[in-house]
Structure 1
Amino acid sequence: MTILGKAFHISFDLVLVSACLAGIKRNTGLTPKVDVIGDPHVKGYVSKYLNVGESCYDYTVATLGSSNYFVRK
């Protein structure tokens, strides 16, 4: 596997984990404790990472909500 393929695979996996954390946040209210991170730069990157998951989760829910294959109960 090439370097570019590995980078894409790892990036996709990271987005899936972030979207999973966003789903957990929306359904249960549990969120990762970002305040315990001491470095403000790392805290900023972690917040951006979690926001990517929120955006992907919102997009997925909106797309599936307008699909004919899914119905809300």
Structure 2
Amino acid sequence: MKTENSKLMAKPDDFVWGAAEIGKYLGRSKEATWFMLEQNRVPGAKKVAGRWGMHVPTFLSSFTEAPRASVAA
């Protein structure tokens, strides 16, 4: 049985174009995704020629990076 997530697996150099497609990766509606994109809250997403695009490897790596060291001593 295939799951919906199998359709979302992108190749390492893939870009996803449009708020609706990006929303599928985020598990959000098109409208909620568009709002997040406009607020610059999606790692790896940029607006190119009026259309949102997301670099999938950059988005995924934002969840695997080591946490930043605290600046408070």
Query: What range is the shorter-chain TM-score in?
Result: under 0.3
If the length of structure 1 is used for normalisation, what is the TM-score?
0.26
**Relative contact order, higher structure (CA 8 A, sep 6+):** 1
Q: Relative to total residues, which structure has the larger helix share, 1 or 2?
A: 1
Structure of higher CA gyration radius: 1
